[in-house]
Amino acid sequence: MAAPHQIDRYLELVNPMATVRDIRAQVVAVDHPTADSVTLTLRPTRQWRGFQAGQFVQLGVVIDGVRHTRCYSPAGGASTRSGLIELTVKAHPGGLVSQYLYANAAPGLVVSLSQADGVFSLPVDRPRRVLLISGGSGITPVMSMLRTLVEEQHSGEIVFVHYANTDADVAYTRALKTIPEQNPNVKLVLVYTESGGGDLEVREVFREVDVEHLLNTEEFAPAVAEPGEAGGEVSFTKSGVAAENSGETLLEQAEAAGLNPEYGCRMGICFSCTSVKKAGRTRNVRTGETDDEPDKKIQLCVSAPVGDVTVDI
């Protein structure tokens, strides 16, 4: 009786939090820790399986009748028993979803969620000494790691270094000051780049002292293609649409052609935009690697066509 849609599509018409398979979450609290960010506390439906500190979730909202999805990392401790999820979102200029959440999120808002994903996490065997480094809005997954270690009563030395433009740009000022006060093994270092603190080239520092193998990093930045003399044509077979190759990513070119392929992070992390390349050569805009294998699954958001390319969307 649910054809042509999944049953959850009908249930949400009656109760947005009533689902059989999908995960939904209701906003139960909203805070604005800085002038350009919003913290959401979410209560997920029973399908939620929890997360490891450092992982991310895909959050979906409907804006003007269209569902948009973005990736955000929970900032709370993974061991918390409340079952709630805390996300802090920076409202980026021109950011459709982040601006929407900043301006419109209120208790009662229902959003869609994915299960937690990602390999950026604490080692299973907790090291005796832990160095946590974050910058700007990238504080959330690292904040989760800190809170998780504190919840576990980790007795080893923990140093948290956070970079921000100014003290007004730090989203978790109160928690970052309270945790070291209550846990003598935790040391906080705040660096303000607009006050002469400078940038820290973390990977280079670790490489110079020959401990790069101990470094676990995650960078959230949209993949950007450099349009050039790409040439050729991009064909979207299922849609019957073809367009001149602009050199941008296949996701951007599909959207420019009026298509709406599924996507999430737009930076090659969540795999929501995975589709099949039927023929042609593509270049990974993150790594620079090229691939000309036919009938291969690719991520549209980080794949740019090189010449003629056919994609099964």
pLDDT in tens, 34-59: 999 999 999 999 999 999 999 999 89
Express as a percent the part of the chain with pLDDT over 90: 61
Q: Are residues 246 and 159 part of one domain?
A: no
Q: Are residues 153 and 105 part of one domain?
A: no
Of residues 222 and 33, more confidently modeled: 33
* Residue 92 placed within a domain: yes
Q: Are residues 175 and 106 part of one domain?
A: no
Report pLDDT digits (tens) over 106-131.
Answer: 999 999 999 998 888 999 999 999 99
CATH of the domain at 194: 3.40.50.80
* Residue 165 placed within a domain: yes
Q: What is the mean pLDDT of the chain?
A: 86
Cα 46 from Cα 36, distance rounded (Å):
32
The bridge status of strand 241-244 relative to strand 274-284 is unpaired
* Residue 181 placed within a domain: yes
Q: Are residues 281 and 186 part of one domain?
A: no
Range of the domain at 195: 129-214
> Residue 5 has what pLDDT?
46
> Residue 205 has what pLDDT?
57
pLDDT of 74 over the 90 cut: yes
Cα 268 from Cα 248, distance rounded (Å):
15
CATH of the domain at 282: 3.10.20.30
Report pLDDT digits (tens) over 86-102.
Answer: 999 999 888 889 999 99
Express as a percent the part of the chain with pLDDT over 70: 82
Q: Are residues 138 and 104 part of one domain?
A: no
**Is the separation of the CB atoms in 31 and 38 below 8 Å?**
yes
* Residue 122 placed within a domain: no
Q: Domain count for the chain, please give it.
A: 3
* Residue 227 placed within a domain: no
Cα 237 from Cα 278, distance rounded (Å):
9
CATH of the domain at 71: 2.40.30.10
Q: Are residues 145 and 209 part of one domain?
A: yes
> Residue 82 has what pLDDT?
86
Cα 266 from Cα 311, distance rounded (Å):
18
Report pLDDT digits (tens) over 155-180.
Answer: 999 999 999 999 899 999 999 999 99
Specify the pTM.
0.70
Report pLDDT digits (tens) over 225-279.
Answer: 555 556 899 999 999 999 999 988 999 899 889 888 888 778 887 788 999 999 9
| Greatest mean pLDDT range, 67-76, 139-148, 208-217 | 139-148
